[in-house]
A and B are shown apart, each in its own frame.
Chain A
Amino acid sequence: RKEVEQDPGPFNVPEGATVAFNCTYSNSASQSFFWYRQDCRKEPKLLMSVYSSGNEDGRFTAQLNRASQYISLLIRDSKLSDSATYLCVVSLNAGGTSYGKLTFGQGTILTVHP
């Protein structure tokens, strides 16, 4: 079983749609959680961190359920510029030798069309 698993996708949605991505992680010791965005042939960039209380950044809302080891990302009012691959990422981040090591899901491709 992969450490981080995401919806296989791809997602193809019209502008203005709401789209949700889900992700599960297997290591219950994981401490930090993120969504990264990766444009075609570009490097991953941090979209947002994910907290247990849930957090929102404009049209983007992230949720974490530690009991279920489940992370989600909701994008409202999709824009053409949201088209990218979205990577679910976890980190043990518990100090020691593996501090900050990121474990990525395989990514979900989102295409927003006119």
Chain B
Amino acid sequence: GAGVSQTPSNKVTEKGKYVELRCDPISGHTALYWYRQSLGQGPEFLIYFQGTGAADDSGLPNDRFFAVRPEGSVSTLKIQRTERGDSAVYLCASRLAGQETQYFGPGTRLLVL
């Protein structure tokens, strides 16, 4: 079956611009997570959705970052006034209720020039 998909696969933007990153979870997965992975590091948690609500947004680095999941399926991570330090791979994962395994999407590589 279809896995987690993310678009775009690559995004190049200029400092100060606004970007949106999209995640389509596996159908039926109610839990959705966003992580950020910098070069040479493991992924770092950003935010967790259970259904439509953000159950835990403690990993968002500052108020330039925001994420939504209005219908409990697709999620969008939004970054305002991008900075060069935001350059990373943004990974989305989804999980079926009652199960432990998170399935990751291929990620969006964001480069802020």
> Which A residues have a C-beta under 8 Å from some C-beta of B?
4, 32, 42-46, 49, 87, 89, 91, 93, 97-107
Contacts and interface: CB of A to CB of B under 8 A. Distances in A.
Contacts of A4: 42
Nearest to A105: B42
B22 interface: no
B25 interface: no
A3 to B, nearest CB: 10
Nearest to A85: B42
Contact of B50 (A32, A43, A93, A99): A99
Contacts of B45: 101-103
5 contacts: A45-B104, A101-B45, A101-B56, A101-B59, A106-B41
Contacts of A46: 101-102
B95 A100 contact: yes
Given A42-B106, A100-B100, A102-B35, 12 more contacts: A32-B100, A87-B42, A91-B100, A97-B55, A98-B48, A98-B58, A99-B31, A101-B33, A101-B56, A103-B45, A106-B40, A106-B42
A100 B31 contact: yes
A102 B33 contact: yes
Q: Closest 6 CB pairs between A and B?
A: A104-B42, A43-B104, A97-B56, A97-B55, A106-B42, A104-B43
B78 to A, nearest CB: 20
A46 B93 CA distance: 12
B44 interface: yes
B24 to A, nearest CB: 14
Interface string B44-58: 110010100001101
